[in-house]
Structure 1
Amino acid sequence: MPLIRFDILEGRSEAQIAALLDATHRAVVEAFEVPERDRYQVVTEHKPGRFVALDTGLNIERSANVTLISVVSRPRPEQAKQRFYQAVCRELREACGIEPSDVIVSIAINSDADWSFGHGRAQFLSGEL
């Protein structure tokens, strides 16, 4: 945890998707200070016309590399969230050539009771984590 979901347009290669996942994980580890093996990522690809990402009036130009990153996480300080926004944009630009204008991030917060990592237990509540 956190759980990271990616919505992207179809057409990226397996290597490009692997680079996207790895770069984002580096940003998560850096900004949220999670363990290296704390990695949960899901990619959903969309046909053109089935993924619309405008700019909320900010005059942000998007390309076919537009990447929507949805994060579900335990509470994080605002500074950590801002570090993540910056780190993920830097990592995606360096590793994938994805411009910061193509990176959209949304973070949803939940609590320890909202996570089970297996075996029907809430490991944050049981003390296993």
Structure 2
Amino acid sequence: MPFVRTSVRKDTDQARVAAIVDGIHQALVAAIGMPVDELFNLVSEYEPEKFFYSRSFNGIARSDDLVVIEITLRRGRSDAMKRALYAAIAENLSAAGVSPKDIFIFMHENDYSDWSVGNGVFAMSIVQQRGTDG
């Protein structure tokens, strides 16, 4: 179950934010086989004057609308899966009006023992078993 944090420029239109979240989610489903119901994306806005970043790092010309995507997920995806994920995110967000040059993605990987996904239960104990709440 990935947990995503997405940071967008303050005053980004809410319809665009929803399209960004959906684009990331659909990429996770398609590229790494994440179940459709595993949507956890915390969106925050940054004040342009409080976010400093290189507009030319690694030869990429970034605009004022940088979207930062931080993905935390369980260890075990191959480099090929990650490449496919990054490409799918860029493609999906491009359809939402975000330039691929303005998409900055990074990942944190960990293990089941680093999660509790509800009811205070150690995720290693349930290893992807579903709850009984419906």
Q: What TM-score does the superposition give when structure 1 sets the normalisation length? A: 0.92
Q: Which residue of 2 aligns with 1:37?
A: 37
Structure 1 residue ranges, 4+ long, deviating more than 4 angstroms after superposition? none
Unaligned runs of 5+ in 2: none
Q: Deviations over 1:27-47 (max 9, x none)?
A: 010111011001110011011
Superposed CA RMSD: 1.5
Please tell me the residue identity of whatever aligns with 1:64. D
SS of residue matched to 2:48: coil
Match of 2:71 in 1: 71
Percent identity, aligned pairs only? 27
Partner of 1:109: 109
* Amino acid of the structure 1 residue aligned with 2:80: Q
SS of residue in 2 equivalent to 1:91: helix
Alpha-carbon spacing, 1:77–1:71, altered in 2? closer, same or farther (3 Å): same
| Distance in structure 1 (CA, Å) of the matches to 2:56 and 2:99 | 18
Deviation at 1:79, TM superposition (A): 1.0
Cα distance in 1 between the residues matched to 2:26 and 2:122: 26
Please say which of residues 25-34 and 49-58 is displaced more in the overlay: 49-58
Q: Distance in 2 between matches of 1:98 and 1:57?
A: 18
What is the letter of the counterpart of residue 49 of structure 2?
G
Unpaired runs of 5+ residues, structure 1, are none
- AA aligned opposite 1:90: E
Q: Distance in 2 between matches of 1:37 and 1:77?
A: 22
Match of 1:83?
A: 84
8 Å contact 1:9–1:51 — kept in the other structure?
no
What is the DSSP-based 3-state SS (H/G/I as helix, E as strand, rest coil) of the residue aligned with 1:36?
Answer: coil
Deviations 1:28-68 (A, max 9, x none): 10111011001110011011121122157412111122101
Structure 1 partner of 2:99: 99
TM alignment of 1:3-82, pairs within 5 A: 3-54=3-54, 57-75=57-75, 76-82=77-83
Distance 1:8 1:126 in 2: 34
